[in-house]
Amino acid sequence: MTDPILSIEDLHVRFDTYAGTVHAVNGMTFEMQPGEMFGLVGESGCGKSVTGLAALRAVPSPGRIENGRIIFSGEDVMQKSEEEMQAIRGGRIAMIFQDPTASLNPVFTAGNQITRQIQQHSNASKKAAKERALEMFDEVGLPNPEGIYRAYPHELSGGMQQRVMIAMALASGAELLIADEPTTALDVTIQAQILALLSELRQNEGLSILLITHDLGVVAETCDRVAVAYAGRIVETGTVDDVLYQTKHPYTQGLMSALPDMVEHGHPLQVIKGNVPDGLRPVTGCPFHPRCYAVMDICREQQPLPIQMESQKHSVACHLYEEAK
């Protein structure tokens, strides 16, 4: 196995608020291989977006990375200077978000924004940057690249804006794209087109993609491997086949049984009872225990550690499987 392109080890992120310290990420650990499409999945508030921002050392104030290691392409992100991080952000690592309008500047044309980005991360002339921008617009399937180049963000549909964001990531030579709910704000047909584009870029360009999503259906269609996050840590990880079709963790089982597809296949729709834990009041033991159908005494006291399943790539943090071993 090659060295991971991104490795997150025991990451803890806190937000110091007037109400107290919010424990947003609590020991998140996973790694992704180069050229992989890796899904980080969970309900909102599970720490997945904050983890994506932490990979870029871009957690907004009052957030702070309390501890943990973030290794990108063999380099320790936590040891980089702010100047080095600025070169990495939008350069070797790019991030796209659910709402591309918030990422694009409304007063500059798409062409102006992409050429500036290219010039920031290379010494290309304005002419060469424009040529590269048009090439990238074409590569991400934007019709009439010259027209898009001259257009302001409000003149483009949501799907086109997201393609512009992806073109910007490619144009600056990103090796890793962190895509945070990139299709959630788009209608279903456009969603499928953007996901197909990401899969193509992964295959043709060798781009590594960390896909952050709440949608297991999206993961099933596009990812190689997946990590399921709950209360700021990973509870189950493995190949998509292992995690979605040999599901072990009670939380992942709950997410799966709430999928509309499962209902179509004759399974009753089940909702996970209770609410996601409040980051201000961390739960002792397994953070899922107040909602778990299989809770045992040990679950209220001890936090479970990841256990390797029969398939070496599949691991689950749940006391049920310690008992079985």
Residues in the site for ligand SF4, rule: CB under 6 A? 250, 286, 288-289, 292, 294-296, 299, 304, 318-320
Residues 6 or more apart whose CB falls under 8 angstroms from that of 68 comprise 8, 9, 10, 11, 12, 27, 28, 54, 78
CB of 292 to ligand SF4, least distance (A): 3
Please identify which residue in the block is written with the tokens 């309008």: 101
Closest approach of ligand SF4 to the CB of residue 238, in Å: 16
Question: CA-based diameter of the chain, in Å?
Answer: 67
5 secondary structure, DSSP code: S
Of 6 and 216, the one with the shorter C-beta distance to ligand SF4 is 216
> Both ends of the chain: CA-CA distance in Å?
27
Q: Where are the beta strands (DSSP E) in 120-213?
A: 176-180, 208-213
Q: Give phi and psi for 223, each to the nearest 5.
A: -95, 160
CB burial readout 148-179, b (16+ within 10 A) else e: bbebebeebebbbbbbbbbbbbbbbebbbbbb
Instruction: Select from 220, 223, 184 the least CA-distant residue to 202.
Output: 223
**DSSP SS3 for 309:** coil
Nearest to 169 by CA among 145, 136, 199, 193: 136
CB of 52 to ligand SF4, least distance (A): 25
280 or 294: whose CB is closer to ligand SF4?
A: 294
Q: How far is the CB of 63 from ligand SF4 (least distance, A)?
A: 27
Closest to ligand SF4 by CB, 78 or 295 = 295
| Smallest separation, CB 250 to ligand SF4 (Å) | 4
* Residue whose CB is less far from ligand SF4, 85 or 307: 307
Closer of 108 and 321 to ligand SF4 (Cβ): 321
Alpha helix positions (H), 89-125: 100-103, 110-120
Q: Which is nearer to ligand SF4, 124 or 295 (CB)?
A: 295
Least gap, CB of 300 to ligand SF4 (angstroms): 8
Side chain identity at residue 93, one-letter code: I
CB of 325 to ligand SF4, least distance (A): 14
> How long a stretch of residues is the chain?
325
Contact 184, 96 (CB under 8 A): no
CA neighbor of 290 nearest in space, from 311, 272, 308: 272
Q: In terms of CB distance, is 97 or 288 closer to ligand SF4?
A: 288
In the bound state with ligand SF4, the residue whose beta carbon lies nearer, of 121 and 291, is: 291
> Residue 58 and residue 43: Cα distance in Å, rounded?
21
CB of 233 to ligand SF4, least distance (A): 11
For the CB of residue 226, give the shortest distance to ligand SF4 in the complex, in Å: 17
